[in-house]
C-alpha cells in the first residue's frame, strides 16, 4: 500500500460510527416527514376532486345562471376547502402513510435486507 491509501484507511477508521447513524436517523426523520406531507397533499387532491364532482352534480340540477369568473372562483374556493379538510385529517393520509411504510420501494427493501444481515455499509457523512 502506498502512503495515500494508508492515510485514507486511517481517516476511515478514525471516523466515528455515531455520526453515520445520526445522519441516517436524520435522513429517516426527513423521509418520514416528506411521506407525511405527500400523503396530506394526496388527501387534499382527493377531497378536491370529490368536492368538484359534487359541485358539478349540483350545478347540473340547478338552473341558476353563473356570472363571469364563477368557475375560477369556485375552483379556488374548493381547493382551499379541500386543503383545510386535509389539514384536519380526513383519515386518508394515515392510511397512505401506513401503506407506504408497509410497502417500501424495491431499493429500500434491498437496503433493509442488507442492514438486517449486517452487510450494509454505513453511509458516509459528507458534511
- The answer to whether residues 42 and 92 touch, using CB atoms and an 8 Å cutoff, is yes
Provide the pLDDT for residue 124: 56
Where are the chain's structural domains? 3-117
| Averaged pLDDT in 10-residue chunks for the chain of 127 residues | 54 48 54 86 91 86 78 88 84 87 72 70 57
- The answer to whether residues 19 and 125 touch, using CB atoms and an 8 Å cutoff, is yes
- Could you tell me the three cell numbers for 117? 444481515
Return the H-helix or E-strand segment holding 119. none
**Phi, psi values for residue 117, rounded to 5°:** -90, -5
Provide the pLDDT for residue 17: 47
Comparing CA positions, the residue from 3, 73, 81 lying closest to residue 48 is 81
Q: How far is 41 from 36, CA to CA, in rounded Å? A: 9
CA Rg, the chain, in Å? 25
Provide the pLDDT for residue 20: 45
Amino acid at each position: 500500500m502506498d502512503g495515500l491509501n494508508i492515510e485514507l484507511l486511517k481517516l476511515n477508521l478514525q471516523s466515528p460510527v455515531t455520526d453515520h447513524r445520526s445522519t441516517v436517523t436524520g435522513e429517516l426523520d426527513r423521509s418520514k416527514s416528506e411521506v407525511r406531507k405527500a400523503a396530506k397533499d394526496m388527501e387534499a387532491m382527493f377531497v378536491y376532486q370529490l368536492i368538484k364532482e359534487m359541485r358539478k352534480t349540483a350545478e347540473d340540477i340547478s338552473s341558476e345562471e353563473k356570472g363571469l369568473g364563477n368557475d375560477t372562483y369556485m375552483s379556488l374556493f374548493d381547493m382551499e376547502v379541500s386543503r383545510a379538510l386535509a389539514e384536519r385529517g380526513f383519515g386518508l393520509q394515515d392510511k397512505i402513510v401506513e401503506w407506504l411504510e408497509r410497502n417500501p420501494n424495491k431499493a429500500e427493501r434491498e437496503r433493509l435486507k442488507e442492514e438486517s444481515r449486517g452487510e450494509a455499509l454505513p453511509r458516509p457523512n459528507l458534511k
